[in-house]
Amino acid sequence: MQSFLALRAAIEADRLTAEAAVAQSLEEIAAREAQIGAFEALAPRDAALAAAARAGGPLAGIALGVKDIFDTHDLPTTYGSPVFAGHRPPVDAAVVAMARSAGATVVGKTVTTEYAFLQPGRTVNPHDPAHTPGGSSSGSAAAVAAGMIPAAIGTQTGGSVIRPASFCGVAGYKPSFRLVPATGMKTFSWSLDTVGFFAAGVADVAAFAAALTGRPLAVEPVDAPALRIGVYRGAIWQRASAAMRDAVERAAALAEAAGAQLAAADEPEALAAAREAHATVQNHEAARALAGDFALHAARLSPVLRETLEAGFAIAPEAYDRARALARRGRHIAGTLFADHDVLIAPAAPGAAPAGLETTGDPLFNKLWTLTGNPCVAVPGLTDAAGLPLGVQVIARFGRDRTALSVAHWLEGLLAAPARPATAVNSP
């Protein structure tokens, strides 16, 4: 994989020009894209190199993949749907404009599931092409994991950053809700849609997000003896695979051995209820956000999307308001968890990437934290017995994104020394 930090260091030390760095990425894309299928559209090579040669700023030389749910003025934006084949927006989405302003070169639009929902695209998992890369940010995660680009932008409405990062063995960062603007992307659920980022490692994704946003997000040293970690098993713990449960337990044991204070973090009933409310909020809003698409192009939508929108139209405003009340209560209660814990750790996905390309996996272990808006990081470093990646999720208090990233980076270092498969089944 390409390290964002290593590339930036080489460029800043004049060992590599921005144009040469982007050229390296274009060569990797040419070598691997036919196998992985991570890109919906690619920028012309000459245009990309010319943009890199002109670029200045902290992202100069960074070949960036942008999920095809975001508007781009110079590349088609299809939202993963035939309804928008050949669509060319006149302006960039806000986050794309931010990236270009910081010097990034948008080399392509990465594959998204249809409208960033459940219908898979053509992307495969770089670790095993017979397995899903996850979704909906499938192309973004896979392009980084395959070493084609050093960074990519995605979105999460349920688990669409953290889950594919876990499946593909890269770092994924879902910021606190609305830390990064979501304007200029195809809305699915305005209460949940969140911009997120991918890079090879946690320090890479933190540095990329810092350069893009101008915020102090780069990882800091962690004072292990002062660190309080809660192991969040919750009501759905047993729905994670044995290998995934062991991965979380192993991460917790390594953290404790390194000096951190470890404790169980029990799941309040209000958070279990909020998790269940996620679907009502999401589907009611999706039906309203996509009402025009449904009215004009229902026959061109996938069956799973049509059925979800039909179910969403049937959700009465009163039921939606009750779900919103549960969500508000859940956000408040989520804050109380961090009175006793600096971060929580939990599964980043139910397990390793499932075999087959018909589905993108289950967002079960992510959707609560999307609903509450807490910052989350998928930490790579462990694998199952078959060698498929298993990510550990780090969650912090709303607005404490740098804490989440710094602890995730510290934990990543513990997991990497040495790399080890998570195969034991002794988890409770």
Q: Which residues are catalytic?
A: 67, 136, 160
How far is Cα 371 from Cα 364, in angstroms, rounded to an integer?
12
Neighbours of 237 (CB within 10 A): 18
Neighbours of 6 (CB within 10 A): 14
Residue that is written with structure tokens 């139910």 in the block = 350
Cross-strand pairs, 106? 64
How far is Cα 122 from Cα 151, in angstroms, rounded to an integer?
20
How far is Cα 176 from Cα 171, in angstroms, rounded to an integer?
16
What are the b/e assignments for 32-45, b being 16+ CB within 10 Å? bbeebbbbbbbbee
How far is Cα 61 from Cα 84, in angstroms, rounded to an integer?
30
Q: What does the DSSP 8-state code read for residue 185? A: B
Closest alpha carbon to 121 in 134, 105, 103 = 134
Closest alpha carbon to 360 in 130, 138, 155 = 138
Closest alpha carbon to 143 in 125, 161, 128 = 125
How far is Cα 414 from Cα 55, in angstroms, rounded to an integer?
36
How far is Cα 52 from Cα 21, in angstroms, rounded to an integer?
9
How far is Cα 84 from Cα 79, in angstroms, rounded to an integer?
7
Torsion over CA: 367, 68, 359, 249 (sign):
negative
